Amino acid sequence: MRYYIIAGEASGDLHGSNLIRQLKIQDPHATIRCWGGDLMQAAGGNVVKHFRDLAFMGFVEVLMNLKTILNNLKWCKKDIEEYQPDAIILIDYPGFNLRIAKWAKAKGFKVIYYIAPQVWAWKENRVPGMKKTIDQMLVILPFEKDYFRDKWSWEVNYVGHPLVEVVDAPRAIPRLSNSDRPIIALLPGSRKQEIRKKLPVMLSVVKHFPDYQFIVAKAPGLEESFYDEFIRGFSTVQTASGKTYEVLAQAKAALVTSGTATLETALMGIPEVVCYKGNPISYQIAKRLIKVKYISLVNLIMDRLIVTELIQDDLNETNLVKELNDLLNNEEKRAQLKADYQALKHKLVAGGHASQQAAEQIVRFLHS
């Protein structure tokens, strides 16, 4: 079979790479052309567009880059028609992928969506169109199956969360710091614009914790020099590129940008503070549109406040110092977090090995 996979972000590249490996097991003759990153390329996909050229976050940023986005859409459609895949597999990245889904369905291609758009949070009006254009929906959050079935009469397939298998995978843990100080991990995100917003605020706490070594987990795909302007002058701050899990595995606590990384940190058992600060206009628009109580996947899945969320103006030096001090020194809180994290993981393993299940269902669907 010929597969065309589109992932537009670092997390999509990670999950896409594991899906590619499993597809090649289920379908040994598979050929895979894709939009993604280095991980998907290493897994055996032919990456024709890198996600670093695709990641635009927020309403204002999308408008500023609208011409580039439209050109990417045009190029993608042309590339799909020339490749003529047996299936198009779309991974998250809804602003782009849902447009491709509508076009692809009209052209007669089979459309599979892996990792559903978070329509339960906002833009529910997308669902009727999704039902018409997506042939198979594979969801990774346990409440999504009930949401689509009960509210929209749409039977989708829950395959478990792919981060569980990623976090549980055995890996060597090299010593990252030459210091004997305990480590605090800083995960400022994967896009330049969000790093510029959040990393300086995260670094404002360094002087309050002189007995700790801070390690910034660099995003894959970003040049090494980008971080220099932020960490210059900090003697207890270093960086690690492409080693997010290794950084977290050695950390006593973490400051984490909202998104997939909040769940990764929790699954690794690391106490965390969730951080979000965006463009003020984009934030005000999102605040009025988003319907959920929390911004972190940890709290959303558990449907209660497990980890502290510092959002927009609340993300400041004073609050970060207070919360981080609590995570480091309050043993009762650390014990409660450990118990909550175990309950979270139990919810997410109920679906089993996500990448394997997804690949099996995709191949079975195409053969049927």
What pLDDT does 53 receive? 72
Planar angle of CA 308, 158, 128, nearest 5 degrees: 90
Model confidence at 175: pLDDT above 80: no
Residue type, 317: E
Give the model confidence (pLDDT) of 187-207 as tens digits. Answer: 999 888 889 999 999 999 999
Query: Mean pLDDT of all residues in the chain?
Result: 90
Model confidence at 268: pLDDT above 80: yes
What pLDDT does 88 receive? 98
Give the model confidence (pLDDT) of 25-46 as tens digits. Answer: 999 999 999 999 999 999 999 9
pLDDT bracket for residue 321 (50, 70, 90) = very high
What pLDDT does 183 receive? 96
- Give residue limits of the domains in the chain: 2-160+351-367, 183-348
Cα 314–chain centre separation: 23
The fold of 183-348 is Rossmann fold (3.40.50)
**Pick from 73-82, 215-224, 232-241: least confident:** 215-224
Give the model confidence (pLDDT) of 114-141 as tens digits. Answer: 999 999 988 899 999 999 999 999 999 9
Task: Domain 2-160+351-367: give its CATH superfamily.
Answer: Glycogen Phosphorylase B; (3.40.50.2000)
Better pLDDT: 177 or 45: 45
CA–CA distance, 121 with 117 (Å, rounded to integer):
9
Model confidence at 56: pLDDT above 60: no
CA–CA distance, 140 with 163 (Å, rounded to integer):
9
What pLDDT does 238 receive? 93
